[in-house]
Amino acid sequence: MSGQSLSLRMVTLHLNEYEISIGEMGQPLRTLVAEGNYSKIAVLVDANTRRHCLPYFLQNIDFEVVAIEIPAGERFKNLDICRFIWSEMMRHGLDRRSLLINLGGGVIGDMGGFCAATYLRGIDFVQVPTTLLSQVDASVGGKLAIDFNGVKNSIGVFQNPKAVLVDPTFLKTLPLTEIRSGFAEVFKHALIADAAQWQELQQITDLMVVDWAKFLAPSLSIKKRIVVESIDFGNWEF
Ligand SMILES: NC(=O)c1ccc[n+]([C@@H]2O[C@H](COP(=O)([O-])OP(=O)(O)OC[C@H]3O[C@@H](n4cnc5c(N)ncnc54)[C@H](O)[C@@H]3O)[C@@H](O)[C@H]2O)c1
């Protein structure tokens, strides 16, 4: 575990077992795919991320990928959809050396991570969060779950991804309600531990014209600190 390294466009946060890359996703994604020597790569999308995020994603990967599409929304974060995802992974021939890339918000990240962590006793997965909430919160920490019998996040596992790629480009198509929901998380992180960011956030008058890129690394650093402290103290209830 260590600190943080800053280059011209990319910030990298290091956790125990994986890195969070903040910036344009192309270079870290290509490196990860080249180093992983994967037999097959599938990308999990929902109806919205297929439309808004998949084209940009495909521009940044030079490996053939199969897309698995599920319906969008929390009400589909359930066992029936998991069964569909596992079936699709089997149908496309994903094996122990395959990779699942979760391209979407917290629902895709939680459910795709859970499906990858349990398929063939666990295959590699990468989180590519596309909502503000999932970029600053849900994609980090290794908590993976689905809703069951009406109880939210009641079935799941803890498993870290190979990497988290946080690319602010995806936020351009996010509707106001989703920006607002992520903003609450950014605000919370600043309230906990970043007085300067807290001051800056208070100047915002229109959420739809904010350059979120500059808020991602500070917010994620705070989330990372909470995750690391929780692991160090053997407490996963963060
Ligand atoms: N694992 C964790 O630590 C953790 C933490 C917080 C929340 N969560 C989970 O995250 C989920 C909520 O995540 P969310 O708020 O991202 O919801 P979500 O995944 O349902 O996404 C919200 C909506 O935005 C759409 N969308 C996603 N990216 C888009 C884009 N770039 N452009 C346009 N539309 C886009 C989605 O299709 C969806 O309709 C909940 O299930 C919650 O339990 C998990």
Per-residue model confidence as pLDDT tens digits over 131-186: 999 999 999 999 999 999 999 999 999 999 999 999 999 999 999 999 999 999 99
Range of the domain at 123: 4-173
230 within some domain = no
Whole-number Å distance, alpha carbon 154 to ligand 1 midpoint, is 17
234 within some domain = no
Q: How many domains does the chain have?
A: 1
68-85: average pLDDT: 98
The answer to whether 19 touches 163, Cβ cutoff 8 Å, is: yes
Q: What percent of the chain has pLDDT over 90?
A: 87
User: Ligand 1: which atom is nearest the Cα of residue 134?
Assistant: 16
Cα–Cα distance for residue pair 164/174, rounded to 1 Å: 19
pLDDT at 97 over 90: yes
User: Ligand 1: which atom is nearest the Cα of residue 108?
Assistant: 19
Specify the CATH number for the domain of residue 36: 3.40.50.1970
194 within some domain = no
144 within some domain = yes
Whole-number Å distance, alpha carbon 46 to ligand 1 midpoint, is 10
Nearest protein CA to atom 7 of ligand 1, as residue: 138
Nearest protein CA to atom 6 of ligand 1, as residue: 138
User: Ligand 1: which atom is nearest the Cα of residue 144?
Assistant: 1
Query: Residue 208: how many CB atoms within 10 A of its CB?
Result: 9
pLDDT digits (tens, 9 = 90+) for 224-234: 998 888 765 55
pLDDT at residue 9, rounded to an integer: 66
User: Ligand 1: which atom is nearest the Cα of residue 173?
Assistant: 32
Q: Which residues line ligand 1 (CB under 6 A)?
A: 46, 48-49, 52-53, 72-74, 77, 104-108, 110, 130-131, 133-134, 137-138, 141, 143, 153, 170, 173-174, 178, 181
70 within some domain = yes
pTM: 0.94
Structure tokens given for 138: 């849900």
Q: What are phi and psi of 26, to 5 degrees?
A: -55, -55
SS3 141: coil
183 within some domain = no
Cα–Cα distance for residue pair 123/136, rounded to 1 Å: 24
Residue 190 one-letter amino acid: A
209 within some domain = no
For 14, residues 6+ apart whose C-beta sits below 8 A from its C-beta are 1, 2, 3, 4
User: Ligand 1: which atom is nearest the Cα of residue 46?
Assistant: 37
pLDDT digits (tens, 9 = 90+) for 13-22: 998 789 999 9
38 within some domain = yes
Band the pLDDT of 217: cuts 50, 70, 90: very high
Structure tokens given for 175: 């509707």
Task: Find, among 147, 167, 145, the residue nearest to 157 by Cα.
Answer: 145
Whole-number Å distance, alpha carbon 104 to ligand 1 midpoint, is 7
